[in-house]
Amino acid sequence: MPGRREPEGAVGHSFGLELDGVRVAMLTEVTGLTVERDVIELREGGADGTQVVRQLPGRLKPGEVTVSRGLTVDQAFEQWMNDVTNDVAAARRNAAVLVLDRRGQRVATFTLSRAWPRKLEYAGLRAGAGEPLTERLTLVHEGIART
């Protein structure tokens, strides 16, 4: 069809993170975007006396997502870790991992509900190393949804 554009797929290097609507800069990696469900095994006796095991879907499991970025003067990750120590209920935030196409348009958004940081790790401190210093923040959440 003339004038019709085919949808453009996402590329792995175009992504971002928003925390309560505020964009986090300098991300280098996001891992752990996983939706997983418990499996319930139901064991039944078959008509011929054999045992039958049925696999049933259980509850969705809460997960963890890790975001990495270059180390900068921005101390937002450290502040968020401190907020958890003071009041975890107030420190929970809605986080969104944004996946973008080549033009910078959103292709998908993965929303992490009621997320809070579990771990902050600094990587790259090594004599003679030439890689940039990074910080990795591991978030726990109560659910992930793609829109």
* Residue 134: CATH number of its domain: 2.30.110
Residues of the chain with pLDDT under 50: none
| Domain-embedded: residue 9 | no
Q: Domain range holding 19?
A: 15-146
Is 96 strand, coil or helix? strand
| Domain-embedded: residue 35 | yes
How many independent structural domains does the chain possess?
1
Q: What is the pLDDT of residue 7?
A: 60
What is this structure's pTM?
0.80
Cβ pair 107, 119 in contact under 8 A:
no
Q: What is the pLDDT of residue 6?
A: 60
| Domain-embedded: residue 139 | yes
| Domain-embedded: residue 125 | yes
137: tokens are: 């923040």
